[in-house]
């Protein structure tokens, strides 16, 4: 296992040595440690403090990271495939291009995190907080996002094909040119969201709230809008012919 640590004042040298020897360091103090490129495959780091740590290109595949603190950490291109991140704190962390495919991130805090082009394919983010996060170009296909909070998040150009967004909060989110085809958005809150140029092919928006959303040039052909709230003045050039209505 490769571990390179810088001389710092925040982390515990004893905890770092324990991690290196056992690949097991639950509750350890590793804040501000330099773990660039570290191989932590299947490591046990539940409740560990890794705030402001540098884990650029680190391998954390299958690791137990429940309730770990990664606030303001550098996790660029880190591998979290199949890792358990339940309840972890990633506030302000840089996860650009990170691999989180099939990871479990239920009730994780990703507010204000940089998730540019991160891969969340088939991951579970049920109930997670992504307020203000940058998800530009991220891959969220077939992802579980039920009741996730995307308030003011930037999802422009992201791919959410087939994602489960039932009851998700997307109010004031940037969804320009986002692929929302075959998504389940039943009961989702899209108040004030910007959906210009979004692809909603065969999406289910039954009971969704689109009050004051920007729907200019949006094509709703085949979209289920039963009971959806479309109280908005931003429907210029929107294509509603072919949408499925019952009562709105």
The model scores a pTM over 0.75: yes
Instruction: Give tens-digit pLDDT for 70-121.
Output: 999 999 999 999 999 999 999 999 999 999 999 999 999 999 999 999 999 9
Instruction: Give tens-digit pLDDT for 202-219.
Output: 999 999 999 999 998 888
Residue 13: phi, psi to the nearest 5?
-60, -35
pLDDT at residue number 6: 46
Query: 247: pLDDT confidence band, cut at 50, 70 and 90?
Result: low
Phi-psi region of 210 (alpha: psi -120 to 50; beta: other; left: phi over 0): alpha
Percent of all residues in the chain with a pLDDT value above 90, rounded to a whole number = 84
- Whether the CB-CB separation of 173 and 152 falls below 8 Å is answered with yes
Query: 162: pLDDT confidence band, cut at 50, 70 and 90?
Result: very high
How many residues make up the chain in this entry?
248
Instruction: Give tens-digit pLDDT for 127-136.
Output: 999 999 999 9
Three-state SS for 244? strand
pLDDT at residue number 169: 98
Whole-number Å distance between alpha carbons of 102 and 125: 10
Asked if pLDDT for residue 198 goes beyond 80, the answer is: yes
3-state helix, strand, coil in the chain (%, to 5): 5, 20, 80
DSSP string, 67-121: T-B-TT-B-TT-B-TT-B-TT-B-TT-B-TT-B-TT-B-TT-B-TT-B-TT-B-T
- Whether the CB-CB separation of 126 and 148 falls below 8 Å is answered with yes
How far, CA to CA in Å, does 20 sit from each of 64, 73, 203, 209, 222? 16, 19, 47, 50, 55
State the chain's mean pLDDT as an integer: 93
| Placement of tokens 């996060």 in the chain | 133
Instruction: Give tens-digit pLDDT for 8-27.
Output: 457 899 999 999 999 999 99
DSSP 67: T
């Amino acid at each position: 296992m490769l571990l390179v640590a810088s001389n710092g004042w925040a982390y515990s040298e004893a905890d770092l040595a324990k991690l290196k020897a056992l690949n097991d360091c639950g509750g350890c103090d590793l804040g501000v440690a330099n773990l660039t490129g570290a191989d932590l495959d299947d490591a046990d780091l539940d409740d560990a403090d890794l705030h402001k740590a540098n884990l650029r290109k680190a391998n954390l595949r299958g690791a137990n990271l429940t309730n770990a603190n990664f606030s303001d950490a550098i996790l660029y291109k880190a591998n979290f495939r199949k890792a358990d991140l339940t309840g972890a704190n990633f506030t302000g962390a840089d996860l650009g291009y990170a691999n989180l495919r099939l990871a479990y991130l239920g009730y994780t805090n990703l507010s204000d995190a940089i998730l540019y082009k991160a891969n969340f394919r088939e991951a579970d983010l049920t109930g997670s907080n992504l307020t203000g996060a940058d998800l530009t170009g991220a891959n969220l296909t077939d992802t579980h996002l039920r009741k996730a909070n995307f308030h003011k998040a930037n999802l422009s150009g992201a791919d959410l094909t087939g994602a489960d967004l039932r009851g998700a909060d997307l109010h004031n989110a940037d969804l320009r040119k986002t692929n929302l085809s075959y998504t389940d958005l039943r009961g989702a809150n899209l108040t004030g969201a910007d959906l210009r140029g979004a692809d909603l092919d065969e999406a289910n928006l039954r009971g969704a709230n689109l009050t004051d959303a920007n729907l200019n040039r949006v094509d709703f052909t085949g979209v289920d809008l039963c009971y959806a709230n479309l109280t908005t003045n931003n429907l210029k050039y929107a294509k509603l012919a072919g949408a499925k209505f019952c009562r709105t």
